[in-house]
Structure 1
Amino acid sequence: MLDMGFIPQIREIIEDFNMPIKNRQTLMFSATFPKEIQRLASDFLTDYIFLSVGLTLIFVERKIDADDLDKKLYDEGFHVLSIHGNKTQRQREESLKLFKNTTIDILVATDVAARGLDVPNVTHVINYDLPTDISDYIHRIGRTGRAGQQGLATAFINHGSNAKVLRKLIGTLEDSEQEIPEWLIGMAGHSYDRRSGGRRYNNRGRNNRNNGGRFSGIDYRKLQGNQRRFYNGKSRNNNNQSRRNSKW
Structure 2
Amino acid sequence: MLKPVSQQSLDTARGQWLIFSRDKLVVRQNQRQLPQGGFDDIDCLRAYHADVYELKDLQGDSLPQSTFIVDMGAEEPEGEHWELASLRHMLMQAPDTAFAVAGRAWQYVHFFRTHRYCGQCGDRTQRVDWEMAVQCQRCQHRSYPRVSPCIIVAVHDGERLLLARGVRHRELNMYSTLAGFVESGESLEQAVHREIFEEVGVSVTDLEYFGSQPWPFPHSLMVGYIARYAGGDIVPEEGEIDDAQWFWPDALPKTPPTLSIAGQLIAATVKKIQGK
Range into which the TM-score falls when normalised by the shorter chain? under 0.3
Greater percentage in strand: 2
Query: Rg bigger for which structure?
Result: 1
TM-score by length of 1: 0.25
Greater percentage in helix: 1
